[in-house]
Chain A
Amino acid sequence: MNHRRQALPRQIAPGIVWMSTCLEVPIDGRPMHSHNNCYLFMGAERTLLLDNGHAAGWKTLRGELETVLDGRPLDYLFPTHPETPHMGNTGPLLDLFPQALIVGDVRNYHLYFPHAEARLRQLSPGDAIDLGGMHVETVEAVVHDLPNTLWAYERGSGLLCVSDAFPYIHEHDAGQCGLLAEELPAPPDAASAGWAISRALNWIRYVDPALVIADLDRLWQDYPVRMIGPSHGGVITDPVALSGFFAAGLRQAWNHAHG
Chain B
Amino acid sequence: MPMADVGDTAFRVTALSWSVPADGRLSWVPPGRIGHDPQNLHLVEGEDRLLVIDTGLAVHLDAILAELGDRRAGRRIVIYLTRIEPECMLNLPALLDRLPDVEVATAVPLSPFDLVHLPHPDLARRVKVSHLAFGGTLEAVGFPLMRILRPPINTLSTSWLSDARSGALFTSDFFALDLAGHEGTPAIRCTAEDLPPRDVLRAGILHKFDWLPRARQEPIAAAWDATFRDLAPIALCPTHGRIAVGADVVARIVSDYRAAIFGASPN
Q: Do A and B come from one complex?
A: yes
Whether the pair B156, A56 counts as a contact (CB closer than 8 A) is: no
Whether the pair A206, B215 counts as a contact (CB closer than 8 A) is: yes
Whether the pair A108, B114 counts as a contact (CB closer than 8 A) is: no
Describe B's contact surface by its main secondary structure.
Answer: loop
**A-side interface size class:** 20 to 34
Known: A108-B86, A111-B87, A113-B58. A146 touches B114 (CB 8 A): no
Whether the pair A84, B116 counts as a contact (CB closer than 8 A) is: yes
Whether the pair A111, B59 counts as a contact (CB closer than 8 A) is: yes
Say yes or no for B191: interface residue by CB 8 A criterion: no
Min C-beta distance of A229 to chain B, whole Å: 22
Min C-beta distance of B248 to chain A, whole Å: 32
Whether the pair A54, B25 counts as a contact (CB closer than 8 A) is: no
**B-side interface size class:** 35 or more
Which of A38-46, A64-72, A86-94, A178-186 forms part of the interface with chain B? Answer: A86-94
- Residue of chain B at shortest CB distance from A112: B86
Say yes or no for A128: interface residue by CB 8 A criterion: no
Q: Please indicate the chain A residues that have their CB under 8 angstroms from the CB of B86 in the complex.
A: 82-84, 87, 108, 112
Say yes or no for B185: interface residue by CB 8 A criterion: no
- Residue of chain B at shortest CB distance from A120: B25
Whether the pair A203, B20 counts as a contact (CB closer than 8 A) is: no
Whether the pair B114, A23 counts as a contact (CB closer than 8 A) is: yes
Min C-beta distance of B114 to chain A, whole Å: 4
Say yes or no for B125: interface residue by CB 8 A criterion: no
Whether the pair A203, B155 counts as a contact (CB closer than 8 A) is: yes
Expressed in whole angstroms, the Cα–Cα distance for A114 and B58 within the complex equals 7
Say yes or no for A5: interface residue by CB 8 A criterion: no
Min C-beta distance of A140 to chain B, whole Å: 12
Q: Which of B84, B86, B113, B208 has the most CB of A within 10 A?
A: B86
Known: A203-B215, A206-B216. A112 touches B117 (CB 8 A): no
Say yes or no for B265: interface residue by CB 8 A criterion: no
Known: A82-B27, A112-B57, A206-B211. A56 touches B220 (CB 8 A): no
- Residue of chain B at shortest CB distance from A81: B27
Contacting residues of chain B (30-52) with chain A, CB-CB under 8 angstroms: 39
15 CB-based A-B contacts, threshold 8 Å: A56-B114, A56-B115, A82-B86, A83-B86, A84-B86, A87-B86, A111-B39, A111-B57, A112-B59, A147-B27, A148-B27, A202-B155, A202-B157, A203-B155, A206-B211
**Which residues of A are in contact with B by a Cβ distance under 8 Å?**
23, 54-56, 58, 82-85, 87-89, 91-92, 105, 107-108, 110-114, 145-148, 202-203, 205-208, 211
